[in-house]
Amino acid sequence: MNTKNRKVAVIDLGYSPYNEALTIQEKLFNQIISVKRKNRANGKHELTNNYLLWVEHAAVYTLGKSGKSEHLLLDQQRLEEKGIEFFTSNRGGDITFHGPGQIVGYPIFDLDNFFTDIHKYLRFLEQAVINTLSEYDIKASISKGETGVWLDAETPFARKICALGVRASRWVTMHGFALNVTTDLSYFDHIIPCGIKGKGVTSMAKELGKKIPMKEVQDKLKHHLALLFNARFKDATL
């Protein structure tokens, strides 16, 4: 009997406020956990689903559960003046920005379908981004002791191009990664990104000196995620 489902439904939410996308994430996340609980209680082997949500958020700062509020450098009045939302989040990590020109990927995977190793899961997300960037001749890597994807890591010129922050329960994941494609980087001036002082933030457009189509980058990310997770990704709708 096949007890693992390596299919991933890819759902593009388009341009969406953070709280709306979070509600969808939580619904799918809870549905998977509910199936796993029933399986355990009844001794059944109903297959669980896996999803990858694409979204481009309206401007928002989110603070992870290990973050510090002082890493947000604007008060509520200034946030409202600039039209930026702020949310605390149950993901890992500190503060980050999401907004137009940024590809946000939320994998909602049952890792029992792949491997039960959160460290490996994070490294695979990072590697998919690194492999995607390499197709544009952008040499990226991880940075020792820090999540995310960096350029010129371990040098005085280190700058982050992709942030990561996830949550997992019963080996089911949510939240994910945010890759700066054509992002307005001035938004990062109002936070201490990921709580890391003295390091910059960059985007694909800044590094290449030109804009890259978001859909093109999404497709490459999907390809590399499918290879790493040995999964079949198929476009779907809610």
Give the catalytic positions in this structure.
Answer: 194
User: How many CB atoms are located within 10 Å of the residue 7 CB?
Assistant: 13
In whole angstroms, give the CA distance from residue 167 to residue 13.
20
Q: Is 35 helix (H, G, I), strand (E, B) or coil?
A: helix
Query: Pick from 156, 166, 167, 163: which is nearest to 192 by CA?
Result: 163
Query: Pick from 178, 187, 111, 116: which is nearest to 149 by CA?
Result: 178
**Can you say how many angstroms the Cα of residue 118 is from the centroid of all Cα atoms in its chain?**
14
In whole angstroms, give the CA distance from residue 125 to residue 127.
5
Sorted by sequence, the CB contacts under 8 Å of residue 85 that are 6+ apart come out as 17, 18, 19, 58, 59, 60, 61, 79
In whole angstroms, give the CA distance from residue 202 to residue 160.
6
| CA distance to 95, 149, 196, per residue, from 67 (Å) | 6, 19, 11
Write out the DSSP string of 84-151.
-EEEE-SSSSSEEEE-TTEEEEEEE-BGGGT-S-HHHHHHHHHHHHHHHHHTTT---EEETTEEEEEE
In what helix (H) or strand (E) does residue 80 lie, and over which residues does it extend?
A: helix 76-82
